[in-house]
A = this chain, B = another copy of it.
Amino acid sequence: MPAGRGISAAPPSAGAPPPRRRPPTMQDVARALGVSTMTVSRALRDGTSINAETREAVLRAADELGYVFDSTAANLRRQRTGFVAVLIPSIDNANFADTVGALSAALAAQQLQPLLGATAYDPRQEEALVEQMLRRRPEAIVVTGGRHTARCRRLLETAHIPVVEIWDNPAAPIGHIVGFSNARSAEIVVDHLAAQGFRRIAFLGGDAAGDARGRQRREGFVAAMRRHGLEPSRRVATGTPPVSMRSGALAMRDLLARFPDTEAVACVSDLAAFGALSECQRRGIRVPGAIAIAGFGNFEIAESCVPALTTVDPAPRQIGRAAAAIVKRALAGGDRRETIIIEPVLIVRQSTIR
């Protein structure tokens, strides 16, 4: 049943054309003009050799018919989709949202369409998503973190498309990396706090099973504390990711109960840090007078709150842009593996100044 028109069996030449249910194709445009589909195809792209007037006529006819180019067909024929799969743990996190925002914008400038997927911090969900995404034949794939299930790794390796792992610096990368040393970022915070003369320094968060990046920060904290000859055991949990302001406040309460003599707190995220700060404000604990607080992420809140929070800038937008740039070069034929490490930058603000 190529056309379930209606009752009339009159030839198309007689009377007005019957209302089509299916959208018009290049063939329809071609027929309306008495040219071949190839001519239409050429008129619709640039860089093709075609008579200027013919092109005009085609464009006009296409517009009148309400023709919309069908890229699903073109994709199949050309074996290129223009898709880039992008997997992140969650959009409900300003850092990832920023990365995705910058990445999407940069991809759009290259005529690439991101296929976004959220893994909810779960490697199994990541595996399922990778499998789904690959069916859509993306030209490249960007994944967050370097921890994957074995099958997921295999899928990524055998897909024969550029793979970019972001927000991490895995020991055994699959392809390209836009790395960020979470451990290092915790270390520079500890270095700063120690330099300020704080000794009894606590770490808040980074305990959750799924949150590899948070855990790495906590490990960096422990390493840096040892290096400074300080006791790294003051650690409290914030619960499952994503870390929230509320969980930061609860963790601060926990911390004050367990380690009341704490002088400074390094938090796994600015959200937790702000929650901790608020908890102090509610209790009338002076920050930084009685206790210093540092965060992570350089969220907007860290700059705006009072006192402004010392934090680490992981440059999420820079990570997104770098990933897009790698994708661009890889698709242009560059075949060497790239490793870009975004160095964490400490931003010192009032919350940790003695």
Give A contacts to B, CB under 8 Å: 22-23, 66, 68-73, 75-76, 79, 81, 90-92, 94, 97-98, 100-101, 104-105, 108, 113-118, 131-132, 134-137, 155, 158-160, 244-246, 249, 271, 274-275, 278, 281-282, 300-301, 303-306
A278 to B305, CA, bound (A): 6
Write the chain B residue with the least CB distance to A133: B113
Is A100's CB under 8 angstroms from B104's CB?
no
Which chain B residues lie closer than 8 Å to A70 at the CB level?
Answer: 135, 137
User: Smallest Cβ distance from A62 to chain B, in angstroms?
Assistant: 12
| Set of chain B residues within 8 Å of A81, measured between Cβ atoms | 72
Are B68 and A134 in contact, with the CB atoms below 8 A? yes
A302 vs chain B, min Cβ distance (A): 10
Q: How far is the CB of A289 from chain B (nearest CB, A)?
A: 15
Given A72-B76, A113-B115, also A98-B92 (CB < 8 A): yes
Tell whether, in the assembled complex, residue A68 and residue B303 are in contact, meaning their CB atoms are under 8 Å apart: no
What distance in Å separates the Cβ of A111 from its nearest Cβ neighbour in chain B? 9
| Given contact pairs A70-B137, A113-B115, A281 touches B306 in the complex (Cβ within 8 A) | yes
Give the complex CA separation of A249 and B76 in angstroms.
52
When distances are taken between beta carbons in the complex, the residues of chain B under 8 Å from A306 are 278, 281-282
Q: With the chains together, A305 CA to B114 CA distance in Å?
A: 35
Q: Would you call A105 and B76 a contact (CB within 8 A)?
A: no
Identify 17 residue pairs between A and B in the complex whose beta-carbon atoms are under 8 Å apart, listed by A's number. Answer: A68-B155, A71-B137, A72-B76, A91-B91, A91-B98, A94-B94, A101-B118, A104-B116, A105-B118, A114-B116, A115-B115, A116-B116, A245-B300, A246-B300, A249-B304, A271-B300, A278-B306
User: Which residue on chain B has the smallest CB distance to residue A159?
Assistant: B68
Closest 7 CB pairs of A and B: A245-B304, A281-B306, A91-B101, A71-B135, A97-B97, A69-B135, A72-B75
A115: min CB distance to chain B, Å? 6
Interface contacts beyond A68-B155, A105-B118: sample of 8 additional A-B pairs, CB < 8 Å, sorted by A: A92-B97, A104-B118, A108-B117, A114-B116, A115-B115, A245-B303, A245-B304, A278-B305
Q: Which residues of chain B come closer than 8 Å to A76, judged between CB atoms?
A: 72-73, 76
Partner of A137, one of B72, B131, B301: B72
